[in-house]
Structures are given as structure tokens and as C-alpha cells.
């Protein structure tokens, strides 16, 4: 029999990380201690919960059933705790947002700062990854994405549209036609590390060749500050005053940001209030930043 919730917390961490080493930092334990806790839990339930191999820990059939029940218990506990952290008072506790690094670098910091100014007891973590954040594995409480996921346990709401244009240094030779790009170094994503089809921009200009590449938007912006031509989010241009948009009448991209949440978290007033403030703040900030670029050219 499982003795307490902490046993299930250890079990879920190992199940999500598929191993002891990945679970240890989350649990703030060393891997050996985590291993002993798993062994103790398996002894308590009287059957293996994991199949151990050099590749990691895979759940047994019993382990999968136990994971589902433990996840339901975790969600119920989180909702109960939220009753004491939401309500009509200011938001408190910790909330983690997963996000593509472009949004994480150029939009979320100022939006989150405004929310925290009104809710000083709130701790917000921004998880910026060059991949889709795994909400099913509870890597974050909610995520900003550029494509709506299809997972049934998630809810998806559009936040705002945003624009991208080609940009280069203002002091670089002018570009008047797409054909001029053949003489320039193209900056963009590492082709085989594009994790979402909405980030595959180069087909828009008829090229697949990237002279300077990174899986990070922030690094791409820094590359452009040192030469070359590439797509930049309009909302990021305020951070690189050396850059100017080019060929705006010939190439203009529009994408959409979505807020993705666990379906069960819709019952949490605290998370719902934060999600509403986050969406409204992001929409307003993207609009403000894009309008500033339109004024400067």
C-alpha cells in the first residue's frame, strides 16, 4: 500500500523523466535516494512499476495505470491548494510558462513584470526551449505555442497574431528585389532542428540555404546585427536598433500565438485569472511593439 503522497510524487517524477537522473533535480534528491524510494514503493505495492534498462525507466502496465491515477490525484491536490492562492486576493504561488524563445526573450518579461507588480506574492518562471514544451509531462503549467496541439487533455486559445519581415543592418547595401538575396548571407533556423512547421520561413523566399543558423531566435537577431539577411519578428526589432525591415511590400509573414493549458486546470481560478492576464498582456504588448516598428520603418 502507498504510504503517503510523497511516494506518489517521487513515482510521478521518475515516470515523467523516464529515469532517476532526470527526476532527481525535480525532487531535489540525489539519484541513489530516488532509486531507493522507487524500490520501497514497488515493495509496498507488491509488483514492479518500471522496467529498468540502460536506456531508462519504462512503465509497466501496472505503472501506467498507477500513473494515470496519481496524475488525477495530483490535479485534485493542485486545485485544492489553488483555493488558498486565488480567490479575490492577489495571485500567489508559483506558475511556470513554457514558450518559444522569441516570445520568451522579447515579450514575456515585460508582460510578466506588469502582472507581478499587481500580484507581489506571485512567482513566475519562464521556460524557454527550442522545442514544444511537454505539458503532459508537467514541464510547465501552461505554454505559449505557434501551432495548436491536438492532445485531448489540453485546451487551446488564440492569444494574438504577430508579423515577421526580412531585416538587415540599416547600413547594409539596400535590397530592392527578392533576387538580391542570392548575393547575401541568409540567417535562419538550423534546418533539421525546426520543431514546428510554422517556423519554416525560408520557403517564402525560395531558398533552403542558410549561411548562419541557430535554433534560437535571440541568437539569430544577434547574427543579423553582424551582417546578413533573415526573418525577424516585428516585436523583436526594438531590441536591435541597428536592423531595418526590407522588402516589406514583397514578403510579409503572419503567424498566431496560442495559449495551451491542461484541461483540468480550467477549474483553477488562480491559473485562469493568470492566463487571462497573460493573454491580454501579450496581445497588448505585441500590438504596441509592432506599432512602434511601423512608425520607424
pLDDT of 78 reads 64
Distance of CA 226 to the CA centre of its chain: 28
Would 30 be classed as within a structural domain?
A: yes
Shared-domain flag, residues 131 and 238:
no
Domain count, the chain: 3
Residues 104 and 229 in one domain: no
58 near 51, Cβ under 8 Å?
yes
Residue 88 within a domain = no
In a domain, 123, yes or no: yes
pLDDT at residue 73, as a whole number: 75
- Asked if the structure places residue 209 within a domain, the reply is yes
Question: Of 32, 52, 83, which residue is a domain's last?
Answer: 83
DSSP label at 205? G
CATH of the domain at 249: 3.40.190.10
Query: Are 119 and 90 within 8 A, CB to CB?
Result: yes
**Regions of the chain where pLDDT drops below 70:** 1-4, 75-89, 152, 297
Together in a domain, 212 and 268: no
**pLDDT tens, position by position, 7-53:** 888 888 888 888 898 888 888 899 999 999 999 898 888 899 999 88
Q: On the CB side of 141, how many CA atoms lie within 13 Å of its CA?
A: 22
Same domain, 140 and 263: yes
Quick one: pLDDT at residue 202? 85
Report how far apart, in Å, the C-alpha atoms of 126 and of each of 18, 229, 289 are.
23, 29, 20
146 & 265 share domain: yes
CATH number of the domain residue 78 falls in: 1.10.10.10
d(CA 155, CA 48): 34
Last residue of a domain, one of 83, 113, 148: 83
Q: Evaluate whether residue 181 is within a structural domain.
A: yes
- On whether residue 214 sits in a domain, the answer given is yes
Same domain as 73, residue 11:
yes
Parent domain of 221: 161-255
State pLDDT tens for residues 42-83.
Answer: 888 889 999 988 888 998 999 888 888 887 777 666 666 665
Please check whether residues 134 and 268 belong to one and the same domain. Answer: yes
- Give the cell for residue 192: 533539421
Instruction: Centre a 10 Å sphere on the Cβ of residue 79 and count the other Cβ atoms it contains.
Output: 17
Q: Is the Cβ–Cβ distance between 202 and 212 less than 8 Å? A: no
- CA 167 – CA 198 distance, rounded (Å): 19
160: three-class secondary structure by DSSP:
strand
Mark whether 194 and 243 lie in a shared domain: yes
User: Do 181 and 250 fall into the same domain?
Assistant: yes
Residue 215 and residue 99 share a domain: no
- Domain assignment of residue 97, yes or no: yes
66 part of a folded domain: yes
For the entire predicted model, the pTM comes to 0.74
Are 14 and 137 in the same domain? no
Note whether 264 and 153 are same-domain residues: yes
Domain boundary among 83, 105, 140: 83
As given in the structure block, the three cell numbers for residue 70 are 496519481
Amino acid at each position: 500500500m502507498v504510504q503517503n503522497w510523497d511516494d506518489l510524487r517521487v513515482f510521478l517524477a521518475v515516470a515523467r523523466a523516464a529515469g532517476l537522473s532526470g527526476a532527481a533535480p525535480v525532487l531535489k534528491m540525489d539519484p541513489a535516494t530516488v532509486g531507493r524510494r522507487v524500490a520501497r514503493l514497488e515493495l509496498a505495492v507488491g509488483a514492479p512499476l518500471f522496467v529498468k534498462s540502460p536506456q531508462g525507466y519504462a512503465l509497466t502496465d501496472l505503472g501506467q495505470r498507477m500513473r494515470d491515477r496519481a496524475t488525477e490525484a495530483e490535479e485534485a491536490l493542485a486545485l485544492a491548494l489553488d483555493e488558498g492562492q486565488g480567490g479575490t486576493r492577489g495571485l500567489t504561488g508559483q506558475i511556470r510558462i513554457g514558450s518559444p524563445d522569441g516570445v520568451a526573450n522579447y515579450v514575456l518579461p515585460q508582460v510578466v513584470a506588469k502582472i507581478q507588480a499587481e500580484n507581489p506574492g506571485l512567482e513566475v518562471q519562464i521556460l524557454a526551449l527550442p522545442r514544444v514544451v511537454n505539458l503532459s509531462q508537467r514541464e510547465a503549467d501552461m505554454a505559449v505555442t505557434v501551432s495548436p496541439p491536438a492532445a485531448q487533455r489540453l485546451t487551446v486559445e488564440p492569444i494574438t497574431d504577430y508579423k515577421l519581415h526580412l531585416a538587415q543592418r540599416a547600413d547594409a547595401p539596400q535590397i530592392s528585389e527578392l533576387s538580391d538575396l542570392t548575393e547575401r548571407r541568409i540567417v535562419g533556423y538550423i534546418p533539421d532542428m525546426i520543431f514546428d512547421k510554422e517556423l519554416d520561413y525560408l520557403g517564402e523566399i525560395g531558398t533552403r540555404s542558410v549561411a548562419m543558423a541557430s535554433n534560437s531566435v535571440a541568437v539569430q537577431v544577434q547574427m543579423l546585427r553582424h551582417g546578413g539577411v533573415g526573418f525577424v519578428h516585428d516585436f523583436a526589432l526594438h531590441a536591435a536598433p541597428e536592423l531595418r525591415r526590407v522588402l516589406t511590400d514583397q514578403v510579409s509573414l503572419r503567424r498566431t500565438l496560442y495559449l495551451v493549458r491542461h484541461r483540468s486546470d480550467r477549474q483553477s481560478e488562480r491559473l485562469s485569472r493568470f492566463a487571462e492576464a497573460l493573454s491580454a498582456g501579450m496581445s497588448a504588448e505585441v500590438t504596441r511593439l509592432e506599432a512602434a516598428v511601423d512608425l520607424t520603418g
